[in-house]
Amino acid sequence: MLSFFQNMSWSSWLLSLVDISIVAYGLYRFFLLIRGTRAVQLIKGIIILLVAVPVSSWLHLYTTHFLLQEIQVMLVVALPIVFQPELRRALEHIGQGRFFSEGILMHEEADVAHAIDEVARACDHLSRSRTGALLVWERTTGLNEYAATGTPIGALVSAPLLENIFVPNTPLHDGACIIRGDRVIAAAAFLPLTDSAQPGSELGSRHRAAIGISEQSDAVVVAVSEETGWISVALEGHLYRRLEDRALREMLTSLLVAKPHTSLKIWRRGVNS
C-alpha cells in the first residue's frame, strides 16, 4: 500500500484529492438535506441492522444471521420507497441549483420556556374566543416535509403572532402551525389524518390531524376546539383533552424542557392520580 502511494504522480494525487472532495461534499450536502426529517431515524435503524449482521455471525446466531441477511436483500428494494420524499427533494434542489449553494443553518439555543408561556397564553385566549387552532411542536423527529406544505414563517413564538395566524377566514387559519424550538417555522401546513377510531365522531379533522402527526412522529401537538374551546394535547397517538392553562404549561414544560421519557412518565402519573 505504501509503495502504491509513493509511485503516484502529482496529477494522480490531485485528481484523487478532487475526487474525494466531491464525494465528501456531496455526502455533507445530503446530510444537511435530510437533517430535520424522519429519514434520520430511518438511517439510524439501518445502521443498527448493518452492525447486527456481522455481530450475529460472530456470535454464531445462525437463524438470526440468516433473517438479517434476508432483510438486507429486502432493503435494496425498500429503500427507494422509504426515502422517496427525501430523494424527490434532493432532485428538486439539484434542479433548482440549491443543492450546492445553501449554507449551514446556524441556530441559537432556543428559549423554549419562554415559548411555552407564549403558546399557553395564546391557547388560553383562543380557547376563550373559541377560535380553532393546531400547533405542532417538533422534538426529535424532524417535520420539514410537513412544514414544506405550508407557508414559511421563521419568526419567534409569541402569543400575538399565534392568535393572528388563527384568525378565522384568513389565509393561514386552516392547517397547522409548526414550531421548532422557540420559532414558528411554518403555518397552514397539512398533516396526515389518523386512521384510529379513538377520536370518535364528535371530533373533526383538526383533532384527527393532531393524533395523526403524533402517531408518525414524537411531536407534541396542541389543538384548540372551535366548537367547545377545549384545549387538547396529542402525544404518541393519544389525545389528552380539556386541559386548563396551568395543566397545559406543566405538560409542555415536562415534555419539551425536561428529559422526554422521564417527564412523560411523571406527567401520565399525575394525570392518572
229 backbone φψ class: left, alpha, beta (φ>0; ψ -120 to 50): left
Do 246 and 133 have their domain in common? yes
- Nearest-angstrom CA–CA distance, 127 and 230: 6
In a domain, 207, yes or no: yes
- Nearest-angstrom CA–CA distance, 121 and 46: 42
Do 76 and 136 have their domain in common? no
Range of the domain at 227: 112-272
In a domain, 103, yes or no: no
Do 131 and 214 have their domain in common? yes
Do 120 and 254 have their domain in common? yes
Is 67 within 8 Å of 52 (Cβ atoms)? Answer: no
Which pTM was predicted? Answer: 0.60
Q: What is the DSSP string of 175-221?
A: SEEEEETTEEEEEEE--PPP--SSS-TTS-HHHHHHHHHHHHS--EE
In terms of C-beta distances under 8 Å and separation of at least 24 residues, what long-range contacts does 57-66 make, across chains too? none
The pLDDT score that the predictor gives to residue 60 is 84
* Residue after which a domain boundary falls, among 95, 126, 157: 95
Do 208 and 178 have their domain in common? yes
Do 61 and 116 have their domain in common? no
Is 214 within 8 Å of 146 (Cβ atoms)? Answer: no
- Nearest-angstrom CA–CA distance, 217 and 207: 15
The pLDDT score that the predictor gives to residue 91 is 62
Q: Which of 265, 37, 235, 30 is nearest to 140 (CA)?
A: 37
Strand, helix or coil for residue 141:
coil
Do 150 and 121 have their domain in common? yes
Residue 263, Cβ neighbours under 10 Å: how many? Answer: 17
Pairing type for strands 176-180 and 133-137 reads parallel
How would you list the strands of the sheet with 183-189, edge to edge?
A: 151-156, 183-189, 176-180, 133-137, 220-224, 231-235, 238-240
**Can you give the CATH number for the domain in which 203 is found?**
3.40.1700.10
What does the buried/exposed string (b/e) look like for 127-138 if buried means 16 or more CB atoms within 10 Å of the residue's CB?
A: beeebbbbbbbb
Per-residue model confidence as pLDDT tens for the chain (273 residues)? 556 556 666 777 778 788 888 888 777 766 666 665 566 667 777 788 888 888 888 888 888 888 888 887 777 777 676 666 666 656 655 665 554 544 433 333 358 888 999 999 999 999 999 999 999 998 877 788 888 889 999 899 999 999 999 998 888 888 899 999 889 999 999 998 887 655 445 678 888 899 989 888 888 999 999 888 899 999 988 889 889 888 999 999 888 886 544 445 444 544 443
Do 171 and 239 have their domain in common? yes
